Structure formats: structure tokens, C-alpha cells
Structure 1
Amino acid sequence: MADGRLADPPPARRAGGGHPRDEVEFEAEEYAPRLRLSRRGVLVLGALGAAVLGVLTWVLFLSSVLDVRSVAVQGVQDDRLTADQVRAAIGGVGSGPLARVDLEDARRRVEAIPRVASAEVWRGWPHTLRVKITQRKAVAAVKGEDGRFTQVDAVGVSFATESAAPEGVPVVELQLSQQAKDVEAVITRPQLVQGAVMVAARLPAEVAQRAGAVLVHSYDDIQLQLNGGATVRWGSPEQSDRKARVLVALLHQKGTNFDVSTPDAPAVSG
């Protein structure tokens, strides 16, 4: 070199081209001590695991440590269906260890209550069985020959019969014409009631609250009696969604007689 010092010789390399330090590290890793369990150790750990699992199983499924202590009910909307009625329907299914409660059985029992449309049941650890219900909502009350009123929901399920119709729910009455009576073997009264309920279910809220009655003279002659004396000629249950939209627009006009039986050619008079 120019300054008179000799340069350090390059580190020696093995025939394969590897660095000596790499070889040392490789050998250190190769001969590093490894943790190995004896057969006895494996057996001890397995026994401990089984014991822990057994204790957990006992606590969850057999002991009273995690028993059901309360049934919490959500979704009750009025005093016609109470949380106590829901608890009574569940009965003994909702007792004992929470992990052993048959949730599907509990759900079926709750949904068997006439006023319940659907239910969800789940575990609320550590001690609560939780139930959420959806109540049926009446869209019509069908007046029977005995003067009592059967409440029907939007899917046509009858779920309660009382001496008076619920407030704000139209009453379905059969006032059959002679022609309708003559063909009763073809179009039965239950079918006529079903058609009227379909009409009531399609009414917008602002119209349903004004509709005091749904009068059925025949399958093709259904009328609405609105509060205040106005009458709506509805016709058949067919195209009820379209008829409802047309009626909402017509009600902004002055008149006492509204005709949506042919929704493409509605009329207002009176």
C-alpha cells in the first residue's frame, strides 16, 4: 500500500464459498438444547387438561353455579301480552344450568302464544335467559255473527277475539249481495274475509286510521267507510297496492265519494 501498511488479508472461505462465522452459527443452532417431555410428563399434562375440562363441564352443565336466575323479556308493547305470560310459556325449559337450556324449544313455546309473531331466545351469561319478541299487529278486526271482533294481522293470522275492535283498526263486515250469496260455494265467506283483510293490510297508516269499516258486498265490490262519512269504492282486492297510492292522492281533493276500483281511471264526486 502507499502508506506502507499491509492490508488485512481477506477472511478465509471454505471450498463451498461459505463464511466461517456462518458455519459456527449453523453448528450452534444444530446443537442447541431442545425441550423434550418425557412420557411421564406428557401423561401428567394430559391428566391436568382432562381434569380442567371435567371441572368446566361440571360447572357449566351439572352444577348450580351458572343456573338460570331470571328470564328477561323484550318487545312487549301493551298489557294484552305481558312478560309474565312469556315466562309462563317457557316454563321449566328456562330453569337449571343456563348452558343446558334448549333455546329452540324455548323459542317454539314463546311463538305458540297467539299474540307473538316471532321470538328470539339466547343466553345472557352468567344467569339470564333473554327473550326478544315481536308482537302481532292487527290490521283489521273481523266482526263475527256474535258481535265480537277477531283481530287479524297483515299475513292473515287471527290471534285474538274481543268484544270491541282495537282503536284505529278498520272493521271488516260482510254485507253480501244476493249475487255473492248465490256463488258462495265458489267464493266462500272465509275467502271474502281474506280479500278484505288484504285490502286493510295495504292501506297506508294515514288512511287506515280514517277507515272505520271495510264492507264486503261481493269479491268485486269492497267499500271503505271513512270517518266523517266519505266512501271509497275499492272493487276487488286485486291491485290493492296501486289503489292505495291512488287513494292517497285523491284524498287531497274535495269529495265524499272516491272510486279507485279502476286505478288507471279514478274518480271523485260529491
Structure 2
Amino acid sequence: MAGAVREKAAAGREERGAGAGPGRPPAAGRPAGRRTRKLRLPSRRVLLAALLAAVVLGGFSGWALYGSNWLRVEQVTVSGTDVLSTGEVLDAAGVFEGAPMATVDTAAVEARLAAELRRIDTVDVDRVWPHRITVKVTERKPAVLLRKGETFVEVDDGGVRFATVRTAPENVPMAEMRVADSPSLDRFGRQRLRESAVRVAGALSESVRRDTRTILVRSYDSVTLELTGGRTVLWGSAERGGAKSKALAAVMKAERDARYFDVSVPSAPAASAS
């Protein structure tokens, strides 16, 4: 009987302590050992101070860039010119000393230079803070010349006619068109036939180009080179220029006394004394 009473009392104690002991599991949805923290926003005074600082900094930056004398153009330099003068480039660029550096639109300056000076092939305009603008120019090089009355029109290797000069530059061949009676004129047009001369000039080796006085175009398939020393080269069409240039170099080396060369079929070049 006493044992039954003791067991009943122990059971009662277990029931009373079931929800309060150290082994009590955490309540559902609440991580053990973690406290909830509230997000504290900056005070209104801090926000106003930050806003005021941003406004002041922005205003100062704008004044430094546009209103002060600290960041203004003091020098414009030009490089890469050969035929063009520095003065011509500066006049076309239109960048003036004393202008705020930030107001110089480099892309617009590049476009203006390319439009006003056709001799310019590429141009790169950069700001060099705090006071300098650089203009780097690459000029077009004439591949052939076209006679125009008493002057000469320079044409680059892209077929662009970029300048008219009174004195022909040295070592640049003259392109001569004799296509009035050629059926090629109706089929291809004068511009494309003129481009044939440019393509041929571009395929010549440096030594042959220096010796070439005239590139004579009679038709699309008949282009002839007139060299120094009374030598003549039948080139054919402007196609396969690289192969023809190699064939010409080889046959000239093999036949040093020849005055006539035929590389119209580059796999079978020919040469003769007359």
C-alpha cells in the first residue's frame, strides 16, 4: 500500500514539472537563444546633415568643373601630322584655351576634324586633366594620283579622293583611264574601273611601287604598269593581286634585263626583252 502511494506521488510530481524543467523544448517558431532586434532608422537630424553635405559637395564639384579656373584648357597639342600643319588642325578642332575642360566634347571635335580635313584618316581627341587636350592624327596616304588639269588628286587605298595638290608627291603612281571605247565602262562604270587602279597599287611591293610611273586602265581585265627604264608589266585584272605581286618579283629577279613582263596569269609569268 505504501509503495502504491509513493508511485502516485512521484507521478504527480512528474506531471507538475513536465512543462517547466530544463529540458523543455523551445516554443514553436521561436529560435532557441535568439532575441528579436528592432531596426533603428537614422534620426531626422542625421538625414538632414547627410542631404546638406551631398548638396554642398555637388555644388562644389559643379563649380570646380565649370566655374572655377582650376580645370580649364591651357594647352592643345597636335601629333601625327605630316602634310597638315598644326595650325590647320587647331583651327578645325575649334578648342580654345580658357574653356572648361568638362565642356570639351571630344567626340564632336573628332567628327569636326574628320569632316573639315579629308586628309585625316583617323583622329583621337583626349582630355589630359587638369589642363591639356591632345589631338592624335593619322593622315591618309595617296595610293594613286589622278590628273586634274594642272593639279593632281590624291586617292588613298580605300578609293577616297581626299586632296588636290599642285605638285605630285614622289613615288606615287599616276592612274590613267583609257576606257572610253571599252565595254567595261558600261558594265562596271568609271568609278569601279578607277578602283581597279587603286587595288593594283595596293598589291605592289614597295620597290615596284616606287618604280611605277603610271597604272594604265584600258578595261576591267586590262591593267598595265609603266615602270622606270621603259619597262612594262601586263597585270590583267585587279584580281589575285598578292599572287601577281609575288610572280612579278620572281620573274624580275630571274630576268633582270627584261623590259616586258606578263603576270596576268600569275601561275605562268613571262618576260621578254621587248
TM-score w.r.t. length of structure 1: 0.79
Q: How does 1:26-175 map to 2 (within 5 A)?
A: 38-76=43-81, 78=82, 80-92=83-95, 96-112=99-115, 113-144=117-148, 146-174=149-177
Aligned residue identity for 1:264: S
- 8 Å Cα contact 2:72-2:99 kept in structure 1: yes
Aligned residue identity for 2:237: S
Distance 1:177 1:47 in 2: 77
Distance 1:258 1:95 in 2: 62
In the alignment, what sits opposite 1:197?
198
Larger radius of gyration: 2
Distance 1:93 1:105 in 2: 14
Number of matched pairs: 241
What's the RMSD between the two structures over aligned residues?
2.7
Residue 40 of structure 1 and its aligned partner are, at CA, apart by 1.4
Residue 141 of structure 1 and its aligned partner are, at CA, apart by 0.8
Decide whether aligned partners of structure 1 residues 94 and 159 sit closer, same or farther in structure 2, where only a CA change above 3 A counts.
farther
Aligned residue identity for 1:265: A
Residue 62 of structure 1 and its aligned partner are, at CA, apart by 3.1
Q: Secondary structure at the match of 2:133?
A: strand
Q: Secondary structure at the match of 1:81?
A: coil
- 8 Å Cα contact 1:93-1:106 kept in structure 2: no
Identity of aligned residues (%): 36
TM-score w.r.t. length of structure 2: 0.78
Residue 68 of structure 1 and its aligned partner are, at CA, apart by 1.1
Distance 1:94 1:240 in 2: 49
Decide whether aligned partners of structure 1 residues 177 and 129 sit closer, same or farther in structure 2, where only a CA change above 3 A counts.
closer
Q: Can you give the 5+ residue segments of structure 2 that lack an aligned partner in the other structure?
A: 1-21, 24-32
Q: Secondary structure at the match of 1:263?
A: coil
Residue 163 of structure 1 and its aligned partner are, at CA, apart by 2.4
Residue 191 of structure 1 and its aligned partner are, at CA, apart by 2.6
Q: Secondary structure at the match of 2:265?
A: coil
Q: Secondary structure at the match of 1:250?
A: helix
Aligned residue identity for 2:70: V
Residue 128 of structure 1 and its aligned partner are, at CA, apart by 0.9
- 8 Å Cα contact 2:185-2:193 kept in structure 1: no
- 8 Å Cα contact 1:89-1:109 kept in structure 2: yes
Distance 2:224 2:51 in 1: 78
- 8 Å Cα contact 2:73-2:96 kept in structure 1: no
Task: Give deviations 1:187-244, integer Å, cap 9, x for gaps.
Answer: 4333322211111122121211111111122222111111122111001111122211
Task: Give deviations 1:99-147, integer Å, cap 9, x for gaps.
Answer: 1111111010111211100111111111111111110001111123x14
